[in-house]
Amino acid sequence: MSSQRESFRGLSAAEFFYRNREIAGFTNPTRALYQTVRELVENSLDATETHGILPDIKVVIQLDEKDPNKVYVEVSDNGIGVPVEEIPSVFARVFYGSKYVLRQTRGIFGLGIKMTVLYSQITTGRPLYVQSSTPESPVIAEYELLINIKMNLPIILSEKLIRKRKKFHGTHVKLCIEGNWSQARRKVEEYIKRTAMITPYANITFITPEGTTIYKRSTKIMPPPPQIGKPHPYGVDTELLKHLFVGNGNQRLKDFIMENFEGVGEATAEDFLKWSKIPNKKLSSFTIEEIAKIARKLKEYPNWRRPRPTTLSPVGEKLLKKGIKSILEAEYVAAVTRKPLSYRGNPFIVEVAIAWGGKIPASDKPILYRYANKIPLLYDEGADVSRKIVDSIDWSLYKVKFPAPLVVVVHVCSTKIPFKGIGKEAIADVPELEREIENAIKEAARRLRIHLRAVERAHEILRRKITFEKYIPEVARALSIITTVDEKTLAEKMYKMMEREIEKVAAPVSVPAPTTVSVKAKQEVKR
């Protein structure tokens, strides 16, 4: 037996992620740079559109003059800002934040920005610079922060309050990390482009050593922001119940259920008690075994209402199309926003768009653009449920023959996206979600088929027309000899007749303009 004695110790959450940063996407200088941009941009978008503010975001990448492996990443926004007293913890304490509520946001873990600080601290030793102000605050706060890794607490290197001279709110963040810009560049650019595509109401200015790209908003319409919701009975567990029971010992079960869960009215609460045979006692009188039973019964009761989608903020068919058209310059786009559904008490909505032709390059299988709560997902496509579904579909049923210029956009919104990892790159194959994504893709694909059929028809007609036109002079000449009518008059009449006939055949569809098929436009804009 080995003589080494084991030594035991605890890690703070910060030390855990310091040691295992790969797990949060900070794998190497290329990936870490990508991840840093992502975390900052996502925070900025959450700080704006989640609160009904049209996003104005500036992203700056700068290389250190002496050492090009040192990269400055800077992001500023016009969001709601962070209250002064919360700034140190929000930016420099792992698992601290405002996102631990039921509402669709990009951030959920309270980890991203702290990982970027840890990473800059590890690689360049430099602090995070942050400047922020809320709309109500009379001052702008400026901080330089590091993380005390052993304790998981912020280290405040400098702190300054500046009186506001004009109305301003927002956050400005700057970091210096070790990064490989030349390798990360393509992915970062793609990330920004795909972000612009799903948020056509955002102004994004993207400044890199190579130049400036501006994605100007193509609309001022934003999806309604998500509301904070209550848990749904299907998502309840023993621990949550125990937690909610605390301080409410005198309340009775019926009132408790009505008050604390999503969409439970009095009739439903009473029916649940009858169905589950649980007495309407005071909360304090339930034993642990009984609480476990309540949790189980809450999950099993068949008559709860579906979770409401007010906590969600899908893009909507109209905006989705707008974004995709302006970025991909496709010939045709079909967009589908499905009805809300739920898995294990978590509401979700699937949106799918299919873009075809135009400037989309032909490829051997559909190009997939994945989004989760409006976050573009660029890595680990092979592990994602959507790739699996897209590959399993028989596209020939939809008149698609590969190589084809086909992009499939899948957007999943949920208060709880079933990510496969903390890096938030792939969505797991939860059955309810898988089924819904498949249905959504097929719905969009059927619209594409109608379009492709129309194109086929238009081409067919064009071919016929060319054939006719070729023979008209000859036929006219022959007829002219027989009828002694003027050859030119005959030919003109025949041309007109042909146009009329072709118009009849082509009536249901117009020849596709480089935008949409008219017959479908109405349906697609119904939202």
Binding residues for its own copies (CB under 8 A): 1-2, 4, 6-13, 15-16, 18-20, 22-23, 27, 50-53, 80, 83, 86, 89-90, 93, 95-98, 100-101, 109-110, 121-125, 135, 149-150, 225, 227-228, 237-239, 243, 288-289, 291-292, 295, 380, 382-383, 418-423, 426, 428
8-state DSSP, 224: P
13 versus 479: smaller Cβ distance to its own copies: 13
CB of 310 to its own copies, least distance (A): 12
- Strand intervals (E) in 317-473: 332-337, 341-343, 346-356, 367-372, 375-377, 406-414
Residue closer to its own copies, measured from CB, 51 or 359: 51
Smallest separation (angstroms) from its own copies to the CB of 357: 30
Q: Which is nearer to its own copies, 222 or 408 (CB)?
A: 222
Nearer to its own copies, 313 or 516 (CB): 313
Residue 379 CA to residue 371 CA, distance in Å, equals 11
Q: What does each C-alpha distance from 326 to 29, 378, 525 come to in angstroms? A: 32, 20, 17
Minimum separation from the CB atom of position 438 to its own copies (A): 18
- In the complex, the smallest distance separating the C-beta of residue 256 from its own copies, rounded to whole angstroms, is 18
Residue of 109, 290, 98, 321 whose CA lies nearest to 219:
321
What is the smallest separation between the CB atom of 89 and its own copies, expressed in angstroms? 7
Residue 390 Cβ vs its own copies, minimum distance, rounded to whole Å = 14
Residue 519 three-state SS: helix
- Cβ-contact 253, 294 below 8 angstroms: yes
| End-to-end Cα distance, the chain | 70
Let me know: does 316 contact 223? Beta carbons within 8 Å: yes
Nearest approach, Cβ of residue 252 and its own copies (Å):
21
CB of 421 to its own copies, least distance (A): 4
Comparison of 132 and 268: residue with beta carbon closer to its own copies: 132
Residue type, 12: S
Nearer Cβ to its own copies (1/482): 1
State the Cα–Cα distance between residues 497 and 475, nearest whole angstrom: 14
Closer CB to its own copies, residue 63 or residue 479? 63
* C-beta closer to its own copies: residue 17 or 191: 17
In whole angstroms, the minimum distance from the beta carbon of 237 to its own copies comes to 4
CB of 416 to its own copies, least distance (A): 9
The token pair at 329 is 């310059």
Q: Which amino acid is at 130?
A: V
Give the nearer residue to its own copies in terms of CB position, either 268 or 415: 415
CA separation, residue 399 to residues 318, 454, 455 (Å) = 25, 11, 11
Question: Judging by DSSP bridges, how do beta strands 367-372 and 406-414 pair with one another?
Answer: parallel
Q: Give CA torsion, residues 298, 301, 306, 310, to 10 deg.
A: -20
Is the Cβ of residue 239 or residue 259 nearer to its own copies in the bound state? 239
- The sign one gets for the Cα dihedral 460, 464, 467, 470 is negative
Placement of tokens 């509401």 in the chain: 347
Mark residue 329 as left, alpha or beta (left: phi above 0; alpha: psi -120 to 50; beta: remaining).
left
Q: How far is CA 234 from the centre of its chain?
A: 24
Q: Nearest-CA neighbor of 410 among 348, 330, 346? A: 348
User: Is the Cβ of residue 97 or residue 233 nearer to its own copies in the bound state?
Assistant: 97
Nearer to its own copies, 158 or 489 (CB): 158
Shortest distance, CB of residue 426 to its own copies, whole angstroms? Answer: 7
Q: Which CB atom, from 405 or from 418, has the smaller least distance to its own copies?
A: 418
Report the DSSP beta bridge partners of residue 457: none
d(CA 511, CA 500): 15
b/e code 161-181 from CB counts within 10 Å (16+ = b): eeeeeeeebbbbbbbbbbbbb
Q: What is the 3-state secondary structure (H, E, C) of 20-67?
A: CHHHHCCCCHHHHHHHHHHHHHHHHHHHHHHHCCCCEEEEEEEECCCC
For the bound state, the minimum distance from the C-beta of residue 428 to its own copies, rounded and expressed in Å, comes to 6
Q: Minimum Å distance from CB 425 to its own copies? A: 9
Kindly state the smallest distance separating residue 173's Cβ from its own copies, in Å.
17
256 half-sphere exposure, CB direction, 13 A CA radius: 25
Q: Which is nearer to its own copies, 292 or 367 (CB)?
A: 292
Q: Between the CA of residue 123 and those of 19, 38, 288, 448, what are the distances in Å?
A: 13, 18, 48, 49
